[in-house]
Amino acid sequence: MKLNGQRRWAATGVVVATTAATIAVALSAPPAGAAPGCRVDYTANNWGGGGFGASVKITNLGDAVTGGWTLKFALPGSQRVAQGWSATWSQSGANVTAASMPWNGSLGTNASIDIGFNGSNAASGDVNPTTFTLNGTECTGAPTTTTTTTTTTTTTTSNNPDPGTRVDNPYVGAKQYVNPDWSAKAAAEAGGSRIANQPTGVWMDRIAAIAGTTGARGLVGHLDEAVRQAAGSPLVIQLVIYNLPGRDCSALASNGELKATEIDRYKSEYIDPIAAILARPAYAGLRIVTTVEIDSLPNLITNVSPRPTAVPACDVMKANGNYVTGVGYALAKLGAVPNVYNYLDIGHHGWIGWDDNFGATAELLFQAANASGSTKANVQGFIANTANYGALKEPYFKIEDSVNGTSVRQSKWVDWNRYVDELSYAQAFRNRAVQAGFDANVGMLIDTSRNGWGGSARPTGPGPTTTVDAYVNGGKLDRRIHLGNWCNQSGAGLGERPKAAPESGIDAYVWMKPPGESDGASEEIPNNEGKGADKMCDPTYTGNVRNGNNMSGALADAPLSGHWFSAQFQELMRNAYPAL
């Protein structure tokens, strides 16, 4: 759904004026040399039941603002601000104040900033606010000087620019967005400047991430920065959509904020605001790639009854259907934005590569792609190995190999899997997905952010042919204890740098998981992010049935998932392959 200067609230009889009020009045005592003036474009969309979303675009028509800004206006009737983004929002009675965040307090001449909020208590007959002040200056749409009190009022409307049609591979011929928040952390590390300019995924892992959290800008802030980085050229910005009810039912470290039954909150408080922001005309020139809900759907294949790896929480999510419902809803809403490219998560070869899991996962994804009003057309592709460690290629043994008459598939490491690395898995899954009903031109992404496995432990040739286990263990690049180990793995390194169209059927190698961000805490850490303590993140944990009762292989002293983990970042750089 697009929000623009001509949109009206049609549902429930609510009428909202969406003209852009443009008033410029001189301050009674303006700073010397300052020329105040501003325009505010306010648009709103009714969701029914009194709920609504409002987009507020501020344009500075005067001298540059460098010390922060404050926007004030009054909401009509009993409307209330429920949740906002890209500003610090407060309300007293009808009067609303939006103050700049630390990262967007500067506003150059003719520069704009997009902020917004979700509101409640909208009623029939309510109209948009029409009077706004920016740092005490009433906004009317024309600049003034310090020597005049002339008031000029104009009314403007805007039309959505034509975003064009989707390209087959959004990464080809496009730059990629460098997240300044991650880049700053990387650059602050010793040697980190070598990779601080790499593009990484932006994780929308809770509702608060939409508005922005401490040390991280919100979605609008990222998109505005992406437009700046694009500078008129094609640019891909990568978002991870990750907040399903009962999220990651088998991994406590990545549990989310929404309970298993809170599908309505997922829709109205998470997906709807994201979709509304992505649909803004200001972002129509971007190529927005979304990785939709990692890990959750594959859990419905491998970690439910009667499997020996069953987890009660996963049985609950399969029974209530909210994973399928939520993914379908996200695909439908995000897919309605013409410049959004949705990629569904397919786990990794060490999870879904077995015969019992492979085809069933493709069929389940097709079911989700056609749920909640979505169709398969809303899926542009799939992503493998998100935030995992599976080697991109295993050059020193193949699935067809045998040692003394014993197949590689019978080794303890491979354990009857059909695939030994992420490239072969991704290419094969693409074909199986088409067989399941997806379009023939779907593409694949592979997350190579932490699967390099370089350093002194990296094999340089095949293992000995004494036994099949010696052959595989001696030659495998992936140095994990077990394929089921996933949390902050010791010995890992940065993998292939992000690259467009590197192999047949592969749209890109990507760093969807930002290197240096933890998978989970080594021990329980109280938090308000809904993240639990998973034993697989404890280096002393001796394992479970899902990792063959092996040690976890996790690094010690890790922070909460998504938080910066300096020791891991340094190890990833040391073990990078290709080397830095």
Closest by CA position to 242, among listed 330, 324, 177, 311: 330
* 3-state class (DSSP) for residue 436: helix
Residues involved in catalysis? 295, 519
The tokens of 349 are what?
């070869």
Bridge-based pairing of strands 381-384 and 402-403 is: unpaired
- Given a contact cutoff of 8 angstroms between Cβ atoms, the answer to whether 327 and 292 are in contact is yes
- Helix/strand/coil (H/E/C) assignment for every residue in 176-193: ECCCHHHHHHHHHCCCHH
Mention every residue, 6+ apart, whose C-beta is less than 8 A from residue 162. Answer: 284
Distance from C-alpha of 447 to C-alpha of 347, rounded to nearest angstrom: 11
Q: What gap in Å lies between CA 314 and CA 259, rounded to an integer?
A: 13
- How many beta carbons lie within 10 A of that of residue 252, not counting itself? 19
- d(CA 168, CA 152) in angstroms, rounded, equals 47
- Greatest Cα-to-Cα distance within the chain, rounded to the nearest angstrom: 93
**Sequence-separated (6 or more) residues with CB below 8 Å from residue 475:** 394, 396, 397, 459, 461, 462, 463
Please name which of 394, 118, 149 lies closest in space to residue 277, comparing C-alpha atoms: 118
Determine the Cα–Cα distance for residues 298 and 321; give it in Å rounded to an integer. 13
Cα–Cα nearest to 39, from 107, 124, 119: 107
Helix (H) or strand (E) holding 433: helix 422-436
Q: Which pair of tokens denotes residue 110?
A: 């003719």
Contacts 24+ apart (CB under 8 A), 357-360: 357/298, 357/301, 357/302, 358/418, 358/428, 358/429, 358/432, 359/432, 359/436, 360/301
Rounded to the nearest 10 degrees, what angle do helices 355-369 and 322-335 cross at? 50
